[in-house]
Amino acid sequence: MNPMMMMGGYGGYGGYGGYGGYGMSVPKAQLSRGKGCVEFSSASEAAAAIQSLNGSSLDGREIKVSEWTGGKSPNAKRGDDACKVFVANLNWKTRGWKLKQHFASAGQVVYAKVIANRDPMASMAKGWGKGW
């Protein structure tokens, strides 16, 4: 038997013994899109956050804070859009708790979420040789 076949290189699961990036998930920490949503208890607090926190520094990045324009997911449709702000230019390592903590200076934060991509490998085939 060919050593490559024994390692799974031909028609196996993920190339040379499963290494090489095929079928391997990207760590969740790297899935941040650098964007986020923060919801406040009132629209006036959201306006205050835009005014005071736009251009502030969070995890070494100058963030951009603007009005929430809506989203496509079911979670984006929850809550009052007037009380939400959109946050851009987030560091990939910024987490939701840190976003909430940073925005608490502008008012009572009801909800804070870093928007993440879905796992890019989830919809891809996990092996080679399909249809052989």
Tens digits of residue pLDDT in 66-119: 999 877 777 777 888 899 999 999 998 899 999 999 999 999 999 999 887 665
Query: Would you tell me the crossing angle of helices 43-53 and 96-103 to the nearest 10 degrees?
Result: 90
Distances (CA, A) of 44 to 10, 26, 76: 61, 39, 20
Whole-number Å distance between alpha carbons of 56 and 52: 8
Higher pLDDT, 70 or 39: 39
